[in-house]
Structure 1
């Protein structure tokens, strides 16, 4: 295993030893070894070499409460700032953020901070909670969870570029109780231990949404809280859209339920106190191409004559956040 990656995982294992998640160590190291032997991306070692070139800095401030801001431009020389920006550009495309790093604005495709600001007033206080973020992307929301006082944050996502992006940001923050594991939810044993589980932007990518909701439940302790965000459509508890080959140009979209249907699904698999926290039509300002994500984005996936529809003629992306409690 790459020595840098080996250090990351060992730090995670050490953190788990003294936590309510210690029993995860019965399976996790073997899964990581399997990933190392058979699952790593061909560019992973190159990305790690680039990470190793990131300079060490001493940020004058770190704000995770109102943003993800690490230091400012006055902390470092112009040369060091250019060096950091050049290296971080090597990890494009940056999709979830934004990040502010020593005066560098990593202007990501998504304004994930807007989503967080809409969600956080509706969830339980994260202070001293052990939190899992399923499909965590580059980890933007994980940092915000830490900023809300979580005692331990674990993110899982099989996309290795996201893993590298997280490590690039973590290089400058060096927080001991936040970890990213390159796993999917299907690889997770039922831990029954997290106080809070987030899953934002994953459900519609699953062929079996009921099995996925059950897997999320199995990570929570009894009384734990699920925060679920997904694409939805208008309708009653029987309404579910199954798109054709593509939805908004995405190939891997399966089921888009109505909010009442999703509420019913959650109740059927063992959640209670299901409530709608937010529903929002994704705007062209919230998801767009930037200098840090230069390929097509939302405006390219909508009908140019009627942006209330996707290019395929389906309702434009509308996202709902539901909060529920494990029985």
Structure 2
């Protein structure tokens, strides 16, 4: 049956079966009803069109798959198949998180997500054999990197339904032994049950979009087993533990930026909600090499968000984005 004709439970049937056999199986009690409700009331107007686009993709399965800095599916397809792939995958634009190479079609995404992964990977606990949750996972690029790092299952949630469509499009080409271990659902953290026991929870590029950051950190805490690790990546500002920037209407042209704490303040918040062994692993200023406009994301990007005369500032006059990686233990 074509994906565009499937019910939500049919579309995610294999994921739900995998979940039932996993250590986080209690999630299933909530998830099946949520997916059914989502299908009836929360679908994006373009969702069916995106699924039809996926249905039209050529029937290719990668004979080799590299889960490296570029997620690479190969070998290269015939020229006419590459043209078909390029045309269909471009209908799922904008592509923000990557990069990918799909049978010779290079998807140069807005974000070089591999650079973020390189910054955090040396600091996190070994993912070998772990059940991992990525909150706000985008197109799922990091789910594949988590699998590369040894995770038994990488579970992603993101309410952005275009991201879900992008993930499903790429996963259909993956070898079964790889595809069956990465999962993504159109959910937000507020829809997750409490007291799940993931070994590692990632949240990258989400905190500053939350109106209530303390509640968000508590929700992340609730997803971890005792002794599990949180990997938190977010925009920070300079200052002491009392320093928090609440921008005006926009920050770097984004309307939905609410709280930008200093690293010290963020460490304090994490301790207040119950985390221990809180530490800052990395701080880096976002560069225009890491976030930029490409053929696969043709809208405005970082260079448009900075003051052209003083690129250390945003167009609104705030400090340009600096992103920190923090680790903490439940």
Structure-2-length-normalised TM-score: 0.96
Pairing 1:1-327 to 2, within 5 Å after superposition: 2-3=5-6, 5-73=8-76, 76-173=77-174, 174=176, 175-326=179-330
1:116 Cα shift?
0.4
Consecutive unaligned residues of structure 1, counting only runs of 5 or more, are none
Please state how far the C-alpha of 1:72 moved relative to its aligned partner. 3.1
Alpha carbon RMSD of aligned pairs, Å? 1.2
SS at match of 2:173: helix
SS at 1:314 equivalent: coil
Superimposed CA distance per residue, residues 212-246 of structure 1 (whole angstroms, 9 cap, x where no aligned partner): 00000000000000000000000011100000000
For the residues of structure 2 that align with 1:80 and 1:65, how far apart are their CA atoms?
A: 24
| Alpha carbons 1:24, 1:191 under 8 Å: kept | no
Count, aligned residues: 324
Moved more, 123-132 or 58-67: 58-67
SS of the residue 2:92 aligns to: coil
Quote the Cα distance in structure 2 between the aligned partners of 1:210 and 1:120. Answer: 25
Unaligned runs of 5+ in 2: none
Per-residue deviation, 1:4: 7.0
Is 1:232–1:319's contact at 8 Å kept on the other side of the alignment?
Answer: yes
Q: What secondary structure does 1:323 align onto?
A: strand
Q: Tell me if structure 1 keeps the 8 A contact 2:27–2:196.
A: no
Runs of at least 4 residues of structure 1 off by over 4 A? none
| 3-state SS of paired residue (1:62) | strand
The TM-score normalised by the length of structure 1 is 0.97
The answer (yes or no) to whether the contact 2:9–2:32 under 8 Å persists in 1 is no
Residue by residue over 1:38-96, the C-alpha shift from the partner in whole angstroms, topping out at 9 and shown as x without a partner, is 000111111111101111223232111443111132xx211111111111000000000
Q: Return the alpha-carbon distance in structure 2 between the equivalents of residues 290 and 4 of structure 1.
A: 34
SS of 1:57 mapped into structure 2: coil
Partners in 2 of 1:259 and 1:112 — Cα distance?
22
CA contact (8 A) 1:21 1:191 kept: no
